[in-house]
Amino acid sequence: MTRLFILLVSSLLPLAAQAVEILRWERMPLAVPLLVDQERVVFIDRNVRVGVPAELNGKLRVQSAGGAIYLRANEVIEPSRLQLQDADTGVLILLDIAATQPRKDQPALEPVRIVEGDNNTPKRYGTTDTVARGEDGEAAETTSKLARETPIPVVLTRYAAQNLFAPLRTVEPVNSIGRVNLRRDLPLGSLLPSLPVQARALAAWRLENFWVTAVRLRNTSASTLPLDPRTLQGDFVTATFQHPDLGPAGQPSDTTVVYLITRGHGLAESLLPAISQFDAALNLPVPDAGGRNEK
């Protein structure tokens, strides 16, 4: 009986061997079609979390184990997108799925293996890409910072917004970014002097020579206030409003956040000094937004 069992297993091995479809991740969504009531395996060789849209609840079964993801559609599914996030690095991989009814005698779909592409994509959002090389192949010595995949002001603004409003588990990690001590009572009366708003500094972060400061803005008037970065007074690299306007005071929409990027120093050194009545009486020159005195 034992000998017969061994012979049966060895004879089935060639039949069990399946072709595997190779998909290269190069920051373009990968198409993974499914057949209803048939399981398809996606090999990724990473510890990943799978983000599934709420509308697929009950329609798609997703299981993950040992670097493999098992997808089984219980009914026809319109084109939808899944997010695979590396639990160690935060890198996202996007899968576009759609489930159709199998045709008569249609063979099962082969497993899929996802491999890294050849585009040298950084492992972490906002990190540096390839190292500059000399003619001899050795790393070239340079005093300048390596170019980043994404501009630092964009990285900082996105990171600050995620920390304030997104669940902590979804915050994308960024190398070398750090929290900065910030005076919560920092006087911000000169930030938007033309608008009836209250401004309060919430938090700040730094990456290399750039700072981002999140400032809460609250409308104190009964009117809707459109927000325009050109009305901000100070020395800023970029400014991004969480919302395009402020609703009337007392409404849920009367509050928003502006993310201010500064270079070489924090927010306090980038604000214009408040003009006192004594300065106005003496007709002293007022610094412009770039910190220079008008002559």
Confidence at 9, pLDDT banded by 50, 70, 90: very low
Report the mean per-residue pLDDT for the chain: 79
For 214-226, what is each residue's pLDDT tens digit? 999 999 999 999 9
- Domains in the chain, start-ordered, CATH in brackets? 18-116 (2.60.40.1080), 152-273 (no CATH)
Calculate mean pLDDT across residues 37-42. Answer: 93
Per-range mean pLDDT, top range of 23-27, 129-133, 166-170: 23-27
Higher model confidence: residue 282 or residue 87?
A: 87
Distance CA 136, CA 25 (A): 31
Q: Between the CA of residue 203 and those of 105, 215, 236, 264, what are the distances in Å? A: 61, 8, 16, 17
Residue 108 CA: distances (Å) to CA of 41, 103, 212: 11, 10, 52
Residue 17: the pLDDT is: 44
CA nearest to 272, candidates 258, 291, 294, 259: 291
Predicted confidence band at 138 (pLDDT cuts at 50, 70, 90)?
Answer: very low
Q: Where are the beta strands (DSSP E) in the chain?
A: 21-25, 30-35, 39-43, 48-51, 60-65, 68-73, 77-86, 92-100, 112-116, 178-180, 197-207, 210-219, 225-226, 238-241, 245-246, 255-263
Query: Model-level pTM?
Result: 0.50
pLDDT score, position 104: 86
- pLDDT tens digits, one per residue of 95-111: 999 999 998 888 888 99
Which of 44-48, 130-134, 140-144 shows the highest mean pLDDT?
44-48
Q: pLDDT value at position 70? A: 93
**pLDDT for 125:** 53
Give residue-wise pLDDT tens across range 242-291: 999 999 999 999 999 999 999 999 999 999 876 544 444 445 454 444 44
Confidence of residue 47 (pLDDT cuts 50, 70, 90): confident
User: Residue 246: beta bridge partners?
Assistant: 225
- Is the distance from CB of 19 to CB of 41 less than 8 angstroms? no
pLDDT at 281: 44
